[in-house]
């Protein structure tokens, strides 16, 4: 029995392009062969944000349970059966479903419907990036009762208390709901103190089953927010460009617990881990002091790839960094507010290689100012950097004009046209074209992106056979 049942979708159900399917398999073999620890290794990780919400509710006297459909359906179990049996077992008053990504929206709608059919008195709540940007359409088009906007802990606690005790919820900040067929969006809420939050609720999560699937990979957040203003990213509107961090000791304590629980690799997927160098130095020093064996990777802006900082990271057991290369032309980079200069790219990547930090590099195909020639040049660059072991995990993303981003909220101004409104495909590796640029059709963009993946696959096959 629990008051709140959290549900995370089966991430293996996203429809992806067949070339990407093959890429994922090759990349995993490559990661094993080369001891890579980043995205290539796996993206099946615990839903740390949900675990954080669960821990916060528990600390405040609300009982919770967790249903991660990626794990529960890993061996082909039927999603609906798993869901119903969990509802029977937990008998929850509230079901809180992840609304992080657009590509799981139809899952969210589906789950909400099943819950309501099971018992219409159960309140269905969602939250996360996608839900925050699409609160009106979610409330209008589904059986979801409440959307929690932006940071989740405090509003979810207030709402859960109100629903459990049958009290008024209309004054709670940071939520959206329907009242008499009108959408009510209460005022935004101020952010929580990260150091006052408990560690994510791993006690109630099937962690050892997950580790047996993913080889012992976990996910930790040391900070929230990012000061940059990239126009393709949700973070500026979601986190209001404010960067907040946890105490280094507190983060390393969490890493120590993970090591004891059997984790081998940790992704520290803060939006921008290099925002405060002194903070990173303190974390790395603390990791050395605690003699941790665990290795980790992080997301870093290219401007932070300087030799001394990379050495600090390496000495603190960091072995990988994801960076957004995004485009090859300076004018395209400038048009999306990227802060690095393309002429510095090779130096940055060389610094990382010398320091022993393996690089995951993101390339975005189809930014508004992209033309065909620029994207073809990017394919060549991605191949060259892979050949030269400068970017060992090339991550070619198809551009998605997500709502809540500067571009996604101003399509006309940016000169792009969406040709595919099936949100199941609103992710970075879709089977079909999504959007045009100012100068290339959606089909041309998609074709070049597929071409890049095929070229990468060929290089991976050849490297694996050497
Ligand atoms: C780390 C990360 C990942 C990690 C982990 C994801 C995870 N869901 O746990 C990995 C690498 C696995 C990942 C994968 C993907 N990701 Co991702 N990811 C991020 C990233 C960079 C950081 C998220 C973050 O800051 N977390 C820190 C925690 C503390 O914050 P949070 O996760 O936002 O959670 C808080 C609130 O959102 C809210 N909340 C969250 N969930 C819920 C649920 C409920 C019920 C409630 C009430 C509240 C709530 O409360 C939380 C605590 O305060 C964001 C970028 C961004 N701008 O947010 C993209 C982002 C979320 N990812 C995105 C995408 C598209 C994907 C993929 C689909 C990519 C793909 N394969 O094509 C996959 C999804 C499949 C999956 N989960 O594996 C998009 C989603 C955009 C959209 N509108 O759909 C984002 C926004 C990036 C972007 N704009 O380009 N991702």
Local confidence pLDDT in tens for the 466 residues of the chain: 999 999 999 999 999 999 999 999 999 999 999 999 998 888 899 999 999 999 999 999 999 999 999 999 999 999 999 999 999 999 999 999 999 999 999 999 999 999 999 999 999 999 999 999 999 999 999 999 999 999 999 999 999 999 999 999 999 999 999 999 999 999 999 999 999 999 999 999 999 999 999 999 999 999 999 999 999 999 999 999 999 999 999 999 999 999 999 999 999 999 999 999 999 999 999 999 999 999 999 999 999 999 999 999 999 999 999 999 999 999 999 999 998 999 999 999 999 999 999 999 999 999 999 999 999 999 999 999 999 999 999 999 999 999 999 999 999 999 999 999 999 999 999 999 999 999 999 999 999 999 999 999 999 999 999 8
Pocket test for ligand 1, best of 17, 40, 55, 100 (most atoms within 8 A of CB): 100
- Cα(48) to centroid(ligand 1), Å: 10
Instruction: Tell me how crowded residue 119 is: count the other CB atoms within 10 A of its CB.
Output: 12
Question: Is any atom of ligand 1 closer than 6 Å to the C-beta of 130?
Answer: yes
Selection from 455, 437, 464 nearest residue 371 by Cα:
437
- Cα(173) to centroid(ligand 1), Å: 22
Question: What radius of gyration do the chain's Cα atoms show?
Answer: 22
- Cα(230) to centroid(ligand 1), Å: 16
Integer Cα distance of 364 and 361 in angstroms = 10
Question: Is any atom of ligand 1 closer than 6 Å to the C-beta of 7?
Answer: no
Report which protein residue has its CA nearest ligand 1's atom 46: 127
Pocket test for ligand 1, best of 101, 226, 428 (most atoms within 8 A of CB): 101
Q: pTM above the 0.95 mark?
A: yes
What 3 state SS string does 269-331 have? CCCCCCCCHHHHHHHHHHHHHCCCCCEEEEECCHHHCCHHHHHHHHHCCEEEEEEEEECCCHH
Question: Is any atom of ligand 1 closer than 6 Å to the C-beta of 73?
Answer: no
Question: Is any atom of ligand 1 closer than 6 Å to the C-beta of 153?
Answer: yes
Residue with tokens 């629990």: 2
DSSP, residue by residue, 119-181: -TTSEEEEESHHHHHTHHHHHHHSS--EEE-SS-HHHHHHHHHHHHTT---TT-TTEEEEETT
Q: Which domains does the chain have, with CATH numbers?
A: 4-10+49-185 (3.40.50.280), 216-465 (3.20.20.70)
Task: Report whether 273 contacts 223 (CB < 8 A).
Answer: yes
End-to-end Cα distance, the chain = 55
């Amino acid at each position: 029995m629990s008051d709140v049942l959290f549900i995370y979708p089966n991430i293996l159900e996203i429809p992806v392009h067949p070339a990407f399917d093959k890429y994922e398999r090759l990349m995993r073999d490559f990661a094993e062969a080369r001891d890579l620890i980043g995205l290539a290794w796996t993206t099946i990780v615990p839903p740390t944000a949900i675990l954080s919400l669960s821990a916060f509710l528990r600390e405040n006297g609300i009982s919770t349970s967790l249903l991660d459909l990626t794990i529960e359906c890993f061996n082909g179990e039927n999603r609906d059966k798993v869901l119903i049996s969990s509802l029977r077992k937990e008998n929850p008053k509230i079901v809180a479903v992840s609304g992080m990504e657009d590509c799981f929206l139809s899952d969210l709608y589906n789950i909400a419907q099943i819950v309501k059919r099971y018992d219409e008195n159960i309140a269905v709540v969602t939250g996360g990036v996608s839900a925050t940007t699409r609160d009106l359409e979610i409330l209008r088009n589904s059986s979801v009762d409440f959307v929690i906007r932006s940071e989740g802990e405090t509003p979810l606690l207030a709402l859960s208390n109100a629903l459990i005790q049958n009290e008024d919820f209309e004054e709670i900040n940071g939520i959206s709901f329907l009242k008499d067929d009108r959408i009510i969006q209460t005022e935004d809420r101020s952010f929580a103190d990260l150091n006052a939050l408990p560690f994510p609720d791993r006690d109630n999560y099937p962690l050892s089953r997950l580790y047996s699937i993913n080889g012992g990979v976990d996910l930790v957040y040391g900070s929230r927010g990012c000061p940059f203003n990239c126009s393709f990213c949700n973070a500026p509107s979601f986190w209001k460009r404010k960067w907040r961090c946890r105490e280094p000791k507190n983060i390393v304590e969490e890493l120590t617990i993970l090591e004891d629980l059997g984790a081998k690799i940790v992704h520290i997927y803060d939006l921008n881990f290099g925002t405060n160098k002194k903070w990173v130095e303190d974390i790395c020093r603390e990791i050395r002091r605690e003699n941790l064996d665990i290795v980790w990777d992080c997301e870093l802006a290219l401007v932070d790839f300087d030799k001394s900082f990379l050495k600090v990271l390496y000495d603190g057991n960091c072995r990988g960094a994801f960076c957004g290369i995004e485009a090859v032309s300076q004018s395209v980079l400038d048009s999306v507010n990227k802060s690095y200069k393309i002429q510095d790219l090779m130096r940055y990547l060389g610094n990382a290689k010398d320091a022993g930090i393996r690089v995951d590099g993101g390339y975005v195909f189809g930014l508004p100012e992209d033309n065909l020639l620029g994207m073809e040049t990017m394919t060549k660059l991605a191949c060259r950097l892979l050949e030269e072991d400068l970017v060992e995990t090339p991550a070619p993303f198809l551009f998605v004009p997500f709502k809540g981003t500067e571009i996604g909220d101003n399509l006309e101004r940016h000169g792009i046209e969406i040709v595919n409104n099936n949100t199941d495909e609103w992710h970075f590796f879709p089977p079909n074209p999504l959007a045009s640029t100012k100068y290339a059709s959606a089909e041309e963009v998609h074709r070049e992106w597929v071409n890049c993946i095929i070229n990468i696959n060929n290089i991976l096959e050849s490297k694996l056979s050497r």
